[in-house]
Every structure is written in C-alpha cells, then in structure tokens.
C-alpha cells in the first residue's frame, strides 16, 4: 500500500510538546486552590512508632494539617495483611515499621516550602530492633513461593538433572549475584488529586497502569470504581515502578480528602529509593553439564531473592533457563527470603535480565572450558522448539540474529584466548550473549471516531511511558483505515476511555495496538456499508469486498467510482461515526510459545593498571516480529542496551546494614550511564513475519534490549582480562 504508515520511522507525535515543555506532567497540572503534600519517612527499618510529635511542624505558617497514624481517617480498604496480586500500601493506618523510610507522617501546606520546613520539624520516637537487610542462601529461612510472579510456577523439572550431571564430561558450577537496583525515571512519581465531594475523585497520576490505580483508589476509599477517574497523559519514564499504585497515591488522595482542597504530591528523588519498589538482589546458583562437543546434558538454575516482611514479589530469574536452549534435563527453582525492606517490584525485564546475566555468563564459561566459540556453543544447543512448554515457537529468528550480528560486529576477529588482544595500555575483549523476552498480549479495547472534517480520533485508556504509544497507535489506525497518519489523532491516558492493560511486560503495542487495529477496521467497514446503502454515493449498490480504502477515500476498481470519508459523514448528517472493538488474547496463541529473541555483542577496553572498564562498542540484533516504527523501536532497543551498561558496570543500591537505609539515594551516588559511558551503539532489527502472535505480528520491544547485554559485557571483560566477575556490578576493585 503506497500510503502505508506502519513501520515508517516517523517522529513522535508528542515530541514537540515534550521538548517545548508544553506537555503537562501529573504533578504540574495547574489547579486552583492547590495544596502541597510531603511525606515524612521513618528513620528506622524495624519496630514500632511510639509517637510522632507534630507540634512544632503544625506551627509553621501555611501548614494546614500534619497527618499521622494517630489522626488519619481510617480507610475502609486499607489492609495490613497481604493477599495475592494486591500490593500492601503504607497509608498511615498502623504503628508498625516494616522498612526504613516508610511513610510515618504527611504534611499538607499552602506551599511546598512550608511543607518542607514542617517536615524537618516532625519528631518521631520508635521502639526498634536491628533490621536484617541482607541475606545468604541456605540459611534455613528461605521459602518457596507458590509462583514465580506472574510468569509461571516457582519450580520446574524435566528429565533427571542429577543423573545427567553425574556422567557429564564438563561441568560449570558457579554462583552469580546481582545487586539491589532502584528505578530512576527522569520524572519521579507524583500526582495531583481533586475530590468532587466525598465520593468522587480525579487523579492526575504518572502511571503505567491507570486502570489499576482506579481500582486501588476505589478499594482503599470504599467508593465505586466509576467514581474514580485517573488521567495520565504523559509519563516521564516507567520501567516497572509505575506499574502499580504505591503508598504515596493513597496518601495524596487521603490528604486531599482531609483538607478538602486539591493536593499535589511529588516524591523526592531520595524517596524513590524506598517508596516505589526496587529490583531485588539475586543469588543464583547455576550448574551446566555438557559432553565434550558442548551439547548440554543438564542444567540447574536456582535463584534466591528478597521480599518484604509483609508482601511478596518474586524475581523470576530462572525462567528463561527453561526455554532458551535445547537440553533434556533441566531443573529450576526460586526461593524468597523475608527482610526488613520495602516490597521489591518489576524492573525492566524483571527476572529475565538478572537471569540472563547468570545463564549467559555460565554459557560463556562453558565455551571457554571447551575452547569452543561462544556462538558455536549456542548453535549446538539451539532450541528448535520450546522444550519447557513443549510447544513450537510462533516464530524464532535467533540463528539469524547470531549470523547478522557476527558479520556486522566482526566477531571473527575475536581471539578465544583471554588477554591476547591489546591496544596500548588497554586489554581488549569481545563478548556476546543471547537475549529473549516473552511476547505478551492481554485483552484491550479501543474506539475509532470519524469526524466531520474527515479526520479520525482513536481513543484507548492506555499509557505512553515514553515508548511511542501515541505515535504507533496513530500509524496502526491510519493503515487500517486507509488514511494518511497526519489525519489520525490518538488519545490515551484517561480511565473514561476504553479499558486497556498495564503498559508493562512489553505488551502495549501488542494488546492495545490490536484493539486499535480492530476498531479502525470496524469503522472502515461501517463506512463501506454506509456508502453502499447511500443512494447519493457513487458507490451505491456496489459490493463491499471490491472496495479499497486509501488516502481517505473508498474506491472501486481503477478508481473511476469513489467516495470520500468526509463526504460520507457529511451526507449522513451525523456529528461523528464511531466503532469500538474489544480484543481478547488470540486463541491460536495457546498452541505456540511466543518470544522475541536477540543477540548482543560488546567490545570492552580494560585499563590493566586501573581496572577501569570502558565499552568501546556494542551491537544489539533483535528479532521481535513486525516493527511498527523503526525510529521509536530503535530507541527502545538502545535504551535497554544503555541500561545494560549501567547494570553491568554501575548500578547498585547500597544499604546500611545497621539502619537498613539506602545510602546511595540520589543520582550522584547511584550511578547510571551518562554519555561518556555510552559509545555509539548499533542496532539491527531482523525482519520477522509472525502470523500467530497477534493482529499486528508485533512481539513487543520494550524490554528485550536489556537482556543478555549484561552478560555480554561480563564475557567481554573475561575475554579481555581472564577475570570472570560473577558479582555485579563489575567495578574496578573486582578487576585489580
């Protein structure tokens, strides 16, 4: 189709609004009579509040109220015991302290400055005991959760690992660890809350899942869901921490109810380190057993991670080991240890990013032990079907990713022997790793509306967390309707629009995109029916299947007879013509295992004297089905790869074992990659046609970019230095 829009690298439609500062974020919505709320947090990690002295804080001019557990209204839906799939919030309903920097008071004031001054004057007394914020494996206090989060059972077993491992010629048996990481989107969490009377509320929130926020607020306050409206037009980065509502959402709504005025609440960067979840640390024990040719005979992957005392989150780190390679004997398990820490949560490619570090490091160790090229080892264990699920792949182009990546990267120049490539004072190393991520889809709905001017407005609740949702949805609708993309406007971020799933798990393009496509097709079919039935239409009485829709017109055959969208609606006399669609997960998906795949290639330079690691270049090759917009897709892949650099070399939240508090709690102490850490990165998208995955053939690309790259870097460091670092991040002290 000559006016096809899908796939084209068009600019983000919301780009000009964002770079010019006109896009309004949740905590900067101008509202008359606004007040400012600020959370005060606990100085201890474990114990009980004996009392909170608010007398001095209350005297600060401009302070309207200081709310504590003593005077906070009881919330009917506030729970203090966890149940499945509903995160427990700390909204000033109890005296227990479960983790350091838990909310213990809330200041509401006319200005932020008054609130800040008052916050500094709140004095709390505690009965506290020493917290435990670190764990080892096999200390007897771990337990096996019911499930590995939302992604399947906590354990798996196929074949007989022990028997296979006993007879194997080669075994790699190692422990890998990953640290606590905290999400640091550019826009910290924040919201503006406006109550309309006692039982209707509007929240402007920064969220990956507005319908989840609606449900939670409705439950907390005991008001009907239809009385809660959540609006989230722009989100300055999500990464998982904005996937579920946290305590501050409930607290802001509570504050607005108490002072009977609108409230604005923004977390400080420091508060992001305790109030919105984190990636839990993992300890992973991996055993690979192979024959002399490198054929995997057995794999065992055990993972331990932390959760809070009061709630449960499992980092599903062993899950990809069930499917990434062909191997007859595989066991995996996940165990949790309860600590005095906040509840961990999803962070970009949760589980799989920590898990591929261990698995793909281990594969590199096996290749080194066998003196085999790492790509060759992977090809010898290529999984032609998903042996964990025992299903065929819906599509898989990993072989092609290895091939194109190796050629483009110049993999043949790699020397197998560590420390054999030098450039002046630098040791040079090459590393690679595989990447994979599930192609998810959830039910979604959307509506398409043709307006009198012939343009189309498409609406779905949804969210654009910076990934390009506004843009790709307009592209999808434009092609389905046969309209130039400029004539399609897409609106999202409002719970009064059709319901869609959370923008997590790389599923928005797949889920909401499918609904948008079906709504647009339904609208087109309505137009065709209208034309055929309309005696004034040149297409009157023609057959629908002979009509083509393109450039805002319906045409028959060579185009001698045609009618335009705008003429059709004009003659209909209607103000607009609309069609809504609801999608479910495609039935045929059940017969397949659905994943995107990729291969990551990295060259590092290591200063031999200082141990400093620099990424010289990196190449990510990804096959993720249909690419809906080449530019926004590339940005997603690159963003994941940049995070991988931070994951491998920089990011870690350090806790003070005595207080339980995060010490690295701002961007000067918590290191993320800056421009100087990131070389020119390259991305190749491997063309892939997947008829099974969804209406669009798109697998989702938000998370695969961060997978495998961490191991590729560690493997390159080994190739450069001969040192295998199994404990992230790879800081220079581990190399000297």
Nearest one of 312, 477, 294 to 378, comparing CA atoms: 294
Cβ atoms 547, 563 nearer than 8 A: no
Q: Left, alpha or beta for 28 (phi > 0: left; psi -120 to 50: alpha)?
A: alpha
Exactly one of 335, 348, 449, 726 binds ligand MOS (CB under 6 A); which one?
348
- Distance separating the N- and C-terminal Cα atoms of the chain: 59
Q: Which CB atom, from 102 or from 208, has the smaller least distance to ligand MOS?
A: 208
Q: What angle do CA 487, 493, 496 make, to 5 degrees?
A: 100
Q: How far is the CB of 704 from ligand MOS (least distance, A)?
A: 11
Exactly one of 234, 346, 409, 437 binds ligand MOS (CB under 6 A); which one?
346
Cβ atoms 606, 720 nearer than 8 A: yes
Using the 8-state DSSP alphabet, how is residue 609 labeled?
Answer: T
Catalytic residue among 302, 499, 695, 703: 703
Q: Which CB atom, from 441 or from 555, has the smaller least distance to ligand MOS?
A: 441
Q: How far is the CB of 216 from ligand MOS (least distance, A)?
A: 17
Q: How far is the CB of 235 from ligand MOS (least distance, A)?
A: 11
Exactly one of 47, 238, 429, 700 binds ligand MOS (CB under 6 A); which one?
238
- 595-607 and 426-438 strand pairing: antiparallel
Q: How far is the CB of 150 from ligand MOS (least distance, A)?
A: 10
Q: Which CB atom, from 145 or from 504, has the smaller least distance to ligand MOS?
A: 504
Distance from C-alpha of 692 to C-alpha of 392, rounded to nearest angstrom: 11
Q: Which of residues 620-649 bind ligand MOS (CB under 6 A)?
A: none
Q: Which CB atom, from 179 or from 350, has the smaller least distance to ligand MOS?
A: 350
Nearest one of 720, 719, 447, 399 to 582, comparing CA atoms: 447
Distance from C-alpha of 439 to C-alpha of 425, rounded to nearest angstrom: 44
Region from 173-181, 270-278, 342-350, 358-366 binding ligand MOS, contact rule CB under 6 A: 342-350
Cβ atoms 279, 180 nearer than 8 A: yes
Q: Which CB atom, from 190 or from 243, has the smaller least distance to ligand MOS?
A: 243
Q: Which of residues 692-721 bind ligand MOS (CB under 6 A)?
A: none
> Please, what is the angle between helix 352-370 and helix 630-649, to 10°?
70
198 by Cβ neighbours in 10 Å (0-12 / 13-18 / 19+) ranks as: exposed
Q: How far is the CB of 702 from ligand MOS (least distance, A)?
A: 7
State the number of binding residues for ligand MOS (CB under 6 A).
Answer: 11
Region from 238-246, 290-298, 485-493, 674-682 binding ligand MOS, contact rule CB under 6 A: 238-246
Exactly one of 103, 188, 240, 700 binds ligand MOS (CB under 6 A); which one?
240
Cis bond leading into 729, ω under 30°? yes
Site string for ligand MOS, 491-520 (x = CB under 6 A): -------------xx---------------
Output the residue with the shortest Cβ distance to ligand MOS.
Answer: 240
Rg (Cα) of the chain, in Å, rounded?
27
Cβ atoms 298, 287 nearer than 8 A: yes
Q: How far is the CB of 703 from ligand MOS (least distance, A)?
A: 6
Cβ atoms 319, 305 nearer than 8 A: no
Q: Which CB atom, from 294 or from 350, has the smaller least distance to ligand MOS?
A: 350
Distance from C-alpha of 385 to C-alpha of 387, rounded to nearest angstrom: 6
Question: Is 384 a known active-site residue?
Answer: no
Region from 246-254, 343-351, 382-390, 614-622 binding ligand MOS, contact rule CB under 6 A: 343-351
Site string for ligand MOS, 99-138 (x = CB under 6 A): ----------------------------------------
Nearest one of 467, 461, 459 to 491, comparing CA atoms: 459
Exactly one of 69, 347, 477, 623 binds ligand MOS (CB under 6 A); which one?
347
Nearest one of 595, 235, 560 to 392, comparing CA atoms: 595
Interface with ligand MOS, residue 350, by CB under 6 A = yes
CB crowding 102-119: b at 16 or more within 10 Å, else e: bbbbbbbbbebebbebbb
Q: What residues contact 166, with CB distance under 8 A and at least 6 apart? A: none
SS3 272: helix
Cβ atoms 490, 520 nearer than 8 A: no
Q: How far is the CB of 345 from ligand MOS (least distance, A)?
A: 8
Q: Which CB atom, from 461 or from 482, has the smaller least distance to ligand MOS?
A: 461
Q: How far is the CB of 26 from ligand MOS (least distance, A)?
A: 17
> Please, what is the angle between helix 469-481 and helix 508-533, to 10°?
30
Region from 78-86, 344-352, 644-652, 708-716 binding ligand MOS, contact rule CB under 6 A: 344-352
Q: Phi then psi for 667, rounded to 5 degrees?
A: -80, 0
Q: How far is the CB of 230 from ligand MOS (least distance, A)?
A: 17
Q: Which CB atom, from 26 or from 523, has the smaller least distance to ligand MOS?
A: 26
Beta strands in 4-135 (DSSP E): 35-41, 47-53, 63-68, 96-97, 103-109, 123-128
Q: How far is the CB of 735 from ligand MOS (least distance, A)?
A: 30
Q: Which CB atom, from 214 or from 278, has the smaller least distance to ligand MOS?
A: 278
CB neighbourhood size of 397 (10 A) = 23
Interface with ligand MOS, residue 208, by CB under 6 A = yes
Region from 347-355, 442-450, 488-496, 712-720 binding ligand MOS, contact rule CB under 6 A: 347-355
Region from 235-243, 293-301, 365-373, 724-732 binding ligand MOS, contact rule CB under 6 A: 235-243
Region from 237-245, 543-551, 585-593, 605-613 binding ligand MOS, contact rule CB under 6 A: 237-245
Q: How far is the CB of 346 from ligand MOS (least distance, A)?
A: 4
Exactly one of 243, 281, 438, 598 binds ligand MOS (CB under 6 A); which one?
243
Catalogue the active-site residues.
703
Binding site for ligand MOS (CB under 6 A): 208, 238-240, 243, 346-348, 350, 504-505
């Amino acid at each position: 189709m000559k006016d096809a829009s899908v796939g084209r690298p068009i600019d983000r439609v919301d780009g000009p609004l964002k770079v010019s500062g006109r896009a309004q974020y949740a905590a900067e919505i101008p509202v008359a009579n606004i007040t400012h709320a600020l959370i005060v947090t606990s100085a201890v990690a474990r114990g009980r509040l004996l009392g909170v002295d608010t007398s001095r804080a209350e005297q600060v001019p401009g302070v309207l109220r200081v709310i504590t557990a003593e005077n906070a209204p009881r919330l009917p839906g506030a729970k203090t015991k966890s149940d499945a799939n509903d995160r427990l919030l700390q909204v000033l309903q109890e005296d227990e302290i479960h983790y350091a920097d838990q909310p213990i008071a809330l200041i509401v004031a006319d200005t932020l400055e008054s609130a800040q001054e008052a916050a500094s004057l709140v004095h709390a007394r505690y009965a506290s005991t020493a917290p435990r914020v670190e764990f080892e494996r096999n200390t007897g206090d771990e337990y096996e959760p019911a499930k590995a989060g939302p992604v399947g059972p906590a354990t798996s077993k196929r074949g007989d690992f022990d028997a296979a491992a006993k007879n194997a010629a080669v075994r790699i048996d190692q422990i890998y660890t990953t640290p606590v990481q905290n999400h640091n989107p550019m826009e910290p969490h924040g919201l503006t809350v406006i109550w309309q009377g006692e039982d209707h509320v509007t929240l402007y929130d920064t969220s990956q899942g507005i319908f989840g926020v609606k449900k939670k607020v409705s439950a907390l306050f005991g008001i009907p869901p239809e009385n809660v409206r959540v609006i989230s037009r722009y989100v300055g980065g999500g990464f998982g921490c904005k996937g579920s509502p946290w305590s501050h959402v409930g607290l802001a709504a509570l504050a607005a109810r108490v002072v009977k005025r609108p409230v604005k609440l923004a977390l400080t960067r420091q508060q992001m380190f305790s109030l919105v979840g984190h990636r839990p640390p993992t300890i992973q024990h991996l055993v690979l057993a192979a024959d002399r040719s490198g054929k995997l005979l057995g794999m065992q992957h055990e993972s331990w991670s932390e959760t809070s005392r009061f709630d449960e989150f499992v980092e599903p780190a062993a899950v990809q080991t069930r499917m990434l390679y062909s191997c007859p004997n595989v066991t995996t398990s996940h165990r949790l240890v309860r600590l005095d820490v906040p509840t961990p949560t999803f962070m970009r490619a949760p589980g799989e990013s920590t898990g591929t570090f261990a698995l793909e490091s281990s594969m590199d160790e096996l290749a080194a032990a066998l003196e085999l090229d790492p790509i060759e080892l992977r090809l010898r264990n290529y999984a032609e079907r998903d042996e964990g699920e025992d299903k065929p792949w819906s599509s898989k182009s990993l072989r092609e990713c290895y091939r194109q990546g190796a050629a483009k990267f110049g993999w043949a120049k790699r020397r197998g022997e560590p420390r054999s490539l030098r450039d002046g004072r630098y040791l040079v190393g090459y590393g690679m790793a595989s990447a994979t991520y599930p192609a998810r889809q959830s039910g979604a709905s959307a509506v398409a509306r043709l307006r009198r001017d012939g343009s189309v407005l498409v609406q779905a609740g949804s969210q654009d967390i910076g990934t390009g949702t506004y843009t790709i949805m307009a592209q999808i609708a434009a092609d389905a309707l046969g309209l130039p993309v400029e004539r399609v406007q897409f609106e999202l971020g409002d719970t009064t629009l059709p319901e869609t799933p959370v923008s997590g798990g790389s599923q928005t393009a797949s889920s909401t995109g499918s609904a948008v496509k079906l709504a647009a097709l339904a609208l087109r079919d309505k137009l065709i029916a209208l034309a055929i039935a309309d005696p004034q239409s040149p297409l009157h009485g023609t057959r629908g299947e002979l009509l083509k829709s393109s450039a805002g017109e319906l045409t028959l055959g060579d185009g001698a007879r045609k009618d335009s969208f705008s003429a059709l609606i004009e003659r209909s006399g209607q103000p607009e013509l609309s069609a809504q669609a609801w999608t479910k997960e495609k039935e045929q998906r059940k017969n397949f295992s659905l994943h995107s795949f990729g291969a990551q290639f990295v060259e590092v330079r290591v200063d031999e004297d200082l141990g400093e690691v620099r990424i010289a270049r990196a190449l990510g090759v990804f096959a993720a089905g249909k690419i809906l917009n080449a530019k926004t897709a590339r940005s997603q892949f690159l963003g994941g790869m940049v995070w991988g650099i931070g994951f491998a070399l920089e990011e870690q939240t350090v806790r003070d074992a005595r207080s339980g508090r995060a010490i690295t709690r701002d961007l000067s102490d918590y290191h993320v990659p800056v421009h100087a850490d990131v070389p020119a990165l390259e991305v190749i998208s491997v063309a892939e046609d997947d008829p099974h995955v969804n209406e669009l053939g798109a697998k989702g690309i938000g998370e695969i970019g961060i997978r495998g790259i961490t191991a590729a870097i560690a493997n390159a460091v080994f190739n450069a230095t001969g040192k295998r670092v199994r404990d992230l991040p790879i800081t220079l002290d581990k190399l000297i």
